[in-house]
Amino acid sequence: MIRVQEDDFDPGLELERLSAGNHGIGGVCSFIGLVRDIADDEQVSAMTLEHYPGMTQKQLEAIEKEAHARWPLDATLIIHRYGRLEAGARIVFVATASAHRDAAFEACHFLMDWLKTKAPFWKKETTEAGDQWVEAKDSDEQATRRWNKT
């Protein structure tokens, strides 16, 4: 399941819903991304995330489909927020559920790596010096490469 939304989310409630009624699930792995208050030694008060709804939904569906093709997953959940988010706010929530923990862990890690580099969100940080767009990081690209099929 994929949700792109402005509103915050309740991680506990989302995890409860993810596995509700499915007693074949043996492991659930989750990740929550937060807005940091510092970037490159500069104070950050907020981050604004922008996206194109149709493009974003389509790309997130492709990323989720790839995870299901690689691992035996019972369920996945991707929630990504947009709009202005203050420091400390939740940005993203990814959860994976599988009969086995290894699949849940690996798929969760994969989803986050791919969301970071392939999801069409544009991020602007608000600092004392003004607003600045966040550039892609080489370390994120390197993390994604480990998942490339050879």
The CATH code of the domain that includes 126 is 3.90.1170.40
Q: What are the two backbone dihedrals, phi and then psi, of residue 116, each rounded to the nearest 5 degrees?
A: -65, -35
Q: How many domains does the chain have?
A: 1
11 found inside a domain:
yes
Q: Which domain holds residue 46?
A: 2-142
Helix axes 101-118, 138-145, angle to 10 degrees: 140
Compute the distance between CA of residue 9 and CA of residue 7 in angstroms, rounded to an integer.
7
95 found inside a domain:
yes
pLDDT in tens, the chain (150 residues): 999 999 999 999 999 999 998 999 999 999 999 998 887 777 888 999 999 888 999 999 999 999 999 999 999 999 999 999 999 999 999 999 999 999 999 999 999 998 988 888 989 988 888 888 887 777 666 767 777 875
Compute the distance between CA of residue 97 and CA of residue 76 in angstroms, rounded to an integer.
6
149 found inside a domain:
no
147 found inside a domain:
no
Which pTM was predicted?
A: 0.90
